[in-house]
Amino acid sequence: MLKMEDSTISLTSADFEEDRYSRLRLIPWWDQEKLKNSAVMVVGAGAIGNELIKNLALLGIGRIFIFDMDTIEHTNLTRSVLYRAQDVGRYKAEVAAERAMELNPDVKAKAFVSNIIDDVGLGVFAEMDVVLGGLDNREARLAINQSCYKVNRPWIDGAIEALSGFARVFVPGEGACYECTMTEADWMMINKRKSCALLTQEQMAEGKTPTTPTSSSVIAGIQVQEMLKLLHKERGLPTLAGKGFVFNGLTHDSYVVEYQRKPDCMSHDTYDVIKSMPWSVRTMTLGELVGLVKSEQGDRAVVELDREIAASARCTCGREKALFLPVHKLTSDLLACPECGAPMIFDSFHSLNGTEYFLSKTLFEVGIPLMHVVGGRVGIEETIYYEFDGDKEEVFRGC
Ligand SMILES: [Zn+2]
Ligand SMILES: [Zn+2]
């Protein structure tokens, strides 16, 4: 099908795209243009992530953002369609992004070797139409869940073990969220790992779960189909929002489970108003930020960060040490006194009123990620949120 553009008919690359996607367009509700204009985040470029990214590329999702901190190992090659033996040692996210663009030159894919728990600003989540998870740990799922809820974005979780797996869809305001589905045992695992973090970081190494390329393609396929329905939401297609697709690979039975929304769940916080500001986390100092928020909201305004940041540590021997990193990243090594080896006591903050001694530090220097969102409020009045869009060009460069 040829398309008229600027009243001239010519064979542009857009016309060849029509050929590539014409079988997809046979689906009555399909809108290829919408997919082309979509931004989708994939967290985790392992077994599930490979299948997710492959599907997104084939479908012509215009902008794909891939988050993973690991490098490729030989053991990944049995479950990762995007990786080759010569890729061993390279970052998964980088190789996956290259291969996605090879599979379909219409798509742009960008790699982020970042920790999804701390290093990704809420403004990055806000830019996405859907977030897809291919993860193997609960803390990362919980962090994605909270970030997506704050900026009102849907996310789709996938999990596999041996031949089986499940896919779950979480849409703010529509039924249960990920935290609502968490059991007592899930919390015990998280708390165990958290307490371990203060002992040795090495012991935190992920448990190795048996996974296959077959179960990952089944589950990732369901995740991407759910994403397609969410992207076409004006079509009113049924989705798994607040529900899970459970697949038993031994019998090939499957069923859908509906999760209970917990009214006291801590993850349902959605920011009402987020103001887009030309501010940059990279360059703005804490002092400048406090000044700007006070000029917006009055002199009694305080800045609320959404995380607890350790400022400094002090030892009984008198030695002091600057920290400036999220409290949960502290380890016993970091808190050991460089002078006498004793464990040091640290102080921390999550809000700023303009009297702090470290106001000359930039937000980035105290561990706030690029494109983050911070709050400003006066007393118990409603918080107004500010998104740091001055970082946008740096974060999304090339994509
Ligand atoms: Zn919840
Ligand atoms: Zn000491």
124-183 confidence digits (pLDDT tens)? 999 999 999 999 899 999 999 999 999 999 999 999 999 999 999 999 999 999 999 999
The alpha carbon of 321 and the centre of ligand 2 are apart by a number of angstroms equal to 10
Q: Which of 259, 242, 272 is nearest to 150 (CA)?
A: 272
Cα–Cα distance measured from residue 214 to residue 104, given in angstroms and rounded to the nearest whole number: 23
Higher pLDDT among residues 257 and 194, named by residue: 257
Which tokens sit at 213? 């390329």
Q: C-alpha dihedral over 313, 316, 320, 321, to 10 degrees?
A: -40
CA of 345 to the centre of ligand 2 (A): 10
User: Which ligand places an atom closest to the C-alpha of 340?
Assistant: 2
In this prediction, residue 185 carries a pLDDT of 87
Number of the ligand closest to the Cα of 148: 1
CA neighbours closer than 13 Å in the CB half-sphere of residue 167: 26
pLDDT-derived band at 190, boundaries 50, 70, 90: confident
Give me ligand 2 centre to Cα 254, in Å: 58
| Distance (Å) from CA 341 to ligand 2 centroid | 6
Q: pLDDT confidence of 303, banded at 50, 70, 90?
A: very high
115 contacts: CB under 8 Å, gap ≥ 6? 69
Distance 104 CA to ligand 1 centre (A): 37
pLDDT in tens, 71-96: 999 999 999 999 999 999 999 999 99
**DSSP code of residue 344:** P
Place of tokens 């979480």: 170
What is the predicted pLDDT for the residue at 209?
A: 84
Res. 286: pLDDT tops 60: yes
Compute the distance from residue 360 Cα to the ligand 1 centre, in Å.
Answer: 38
Ligand nearest to the CA of 171: 1
State the pLDDT at residue 19. 80
Percent of the chain with pLDDT over 90: 86
Q: Is the pLDDT of residue 315 over 90?
A: yes
* 48 pLDDT above the threshold of 60: yes
CB burial of residue 344 (10 Å; 0-12, 13-18, 19+): buried
For the cut 80, the answer to whether the pLDDT of residue 204 exceeds it is no
State the pLDDT at residue 192: 80
Q: Is the predicted pLDDT of residue 201 greater than 50, yes or no?
A: no
d(CA 254, CA 362): 51
314 Cα: distance to centroid of ligand 2 (angstroms): 8
pLDDT of residue 85: 98
Residues 6+ apart with CB under 8 A from 225: none
Q: What spacing in Å lies between the alpha carbon of 203 and ligand 2's midpoint?
A: 26
Orientation angle between helical segments 213-231 and 47-59, nearest 10 degrees: 40
Give whole-number Cα distances, 217 to 52, 84, 106, 134, 250, in Å.
Answer: 8, 18, 23, 11, 16
Q: How far apart are CA 378 and CA 138, in angstroms?
A: 35
pLDDT reported for residue 250: 97
